[in-house]
Amino acid sequence: MKKRIVIILGSFVMGGAENMVCELVCHIDRSKYDLQVICVNGKCNSPLEKKIEQQGIDVVYLNGITKVNLKSIIKVWKALSAYHPDIIHTHIGGVIFSIPWIICHSVKFIHTVHTSPEKEFDKKTQFILKCLYKLGKGVMVTVSKENQKKTMEYYSLPISKVRMVNNGIDLNKFYKKKHKNFTFVNVGRQDVNKNQILILKAFTELKKEYKNISLILVGDGNQHKKLETYVKKNNLIKDVNMPGMVTNVEDYLAISDVYIQSSFYEGLPLSVLEAMATGLPIISTAVGGITDIVNNNGILIPIDDLQKLIVAMKEMINNKKEYNKMCNESWKDVQDYSVEEMVKKYERIYDEFAK
């Protein structure tokens, strides 16, 4: 008999966690599992939604839920009761709306931590979750070894309550294409945490010394206009490409030479794995799960350190021998991060905890 799995998240806006959920639900073994996805917000007509719809996956949109209150909890309660899953798999804010139903039923839950544990929820929610884990109601899953360690320490939980499943990507869709300028690239939500302004400042300094370099900043967010203003003010319009939110990230990575991640905190960004699958070396701040995957294939720098970023970018341009070694290491290291392996690991957890 098939196990009934409900996956709950906020929405399918374009983001690393949402992309990971999309890959999971599209690749799960439908001969073993009945699957329903609950989005506590409404449809946003993103490419991720369209991809899931093409797979014929049952998605329930609970329109209008923006905060935790009695009305929103009742909506989620009714949706869960109508399906009555064997296990609930929550992501980001989805778990908050599910807590009352989880407490009142024998069903266990899995919650994937996509970022640093202290950044994910307020203290009250953290306390409730900690109690539920200690009572054996479920487990946490982190996306990197570094975050697994931090989560165990933060929640004071043993390793049996904090599993680790690497994010996975479709390794076959990434490729390289000839291009003129030496090009740096970043892909991600353009917000304060991602700190793309640091990349722009470093690029501005490099442009004074290197003429044939370019920068691509793929994504959108509440800092997008600020980044565009900076580009215009510093006369970088011809040198910096800001295409916004795209569905063909692989085409921008294909015409790039180095990937830069400048975040203040992270889980395990799919964008870095996708860059590695393209054979790009990585420059990144040493945060979260990035320290698990950037070793001989790139350069780690301190958070918000402009000078260290400039030095790292120059090293990529000037040291061709080391650059080529890093490219090869990226491609080799990313082979363990396929979406197929990720899905198999989650299926094993489902089998362990489902009734």
Task: Taking residues 41-63, report their average pLDDT.
Answer: 88
Answer whether residue 13 shows pLDDT above 90.
no
99-108, 109-118, 130-139, 302-311: which is most confident:
302-311
Are 22 and 40 contacting, i.e. CB atoms less than 8 angstroms apart? no
Q: Can you give the pLDDT at residue 14? A: 74
**Of 249, 288, 261, the residue nearest 170 (C-alpha):** 249
Task: Taking residues 37-47, report their average pLDDT.
Answer: 87
Task: Taking residues 42-47, report their average pLDDT.
Answer: 84
355 band by pLDDT with thresholds 50, 70 and 90: low
Answer whether residue 333 shows pLDDT above 90.
yes
Are 108 and 137 contacting, i.e. CB atoms less than 8 angstroms apart? yes
Answer whether residue 104 shows pLDDT above 90.
yes
Task: Taking residues 51-61, report their average pLDDT.
Answer: 90
Helices assigned H by DSSP within the chain: 16-27, 47-54, 70-83, 94-104, 117-120, 123-134, 145-155, 196-207, 224-233, 249-254, 270-277, 290-293, 306-318, 320-333, 339-353
Answer whether residue 222 shows pLDDT above 90.
yes
Q: Please compute, for residue 287, the number of CA atoms within 13 A of its CA located in the half-sphere on the CB side.
A: 23
Q: Can you give the pLDDT at residue 284? A: 98
Length in residues, the chain:
355
**Of 220, 162, 33, the residue nearest 24 (C-alpha):** 33
Task: Taking residues 2-17, report their average pLDDT.
Answer: 89
Mean pLDDT of the chain: 93
Q: Can you give the pLDDT at residue 64? A: 65
Distances (CA, A) of 219 to 81, 131, 243, 263, 289: 37, 38, 7, 14, 21
Are 267 and 16 contacting, i.e. CB atoms less than 8 angstroms apart? yes
Give how far the C-alpha of residue 354 lies from the chain's centroid of Cα atoms, to the nearest Å.
26
Q: Can you give the pLDDT at residue 60? A: 92
Helices assigned H by DSSP within 196-338: 196-207, 224-233, 249-254, 270-277, 290-293, 306-318, 320-333
Answer whether residue 65 shows pLDDT above 80.
no
Answer whether residue 54 shows pLDDT above 80.
yes
Q: Can you give the pLDDT at residue 92? A: 84
Q: Please compute, for residue 162, the number of CA atoms within 13 A of its CA located in the half-sphere on the CB side.
A: 23
Task: Taking residues 25-54, report their average pLDDT.
Answer: 90
SS3 349: helix
Task: Taking residues 287-301, report their average pLDDT.
Answer: 93
Portion of the chain with pLDDT greater than 70, in percent: 99
pTM surpassing 0.85? Answer: no
Q: Can you give the pLDDT at residue 119? A: 84
Q: Can you give the pLDDT at residue 16? A: 82
Going by their DSSP bridges, the two strands 3-9 and 33-39 should be labelled as: parallel
Burial (CB count within 10 angstroms: exposed 0-12, middle 13-18, buried 19+), residue 176: middle
Distances (CA, A) of 4 to 40, 268, 305: 19, 28, 47
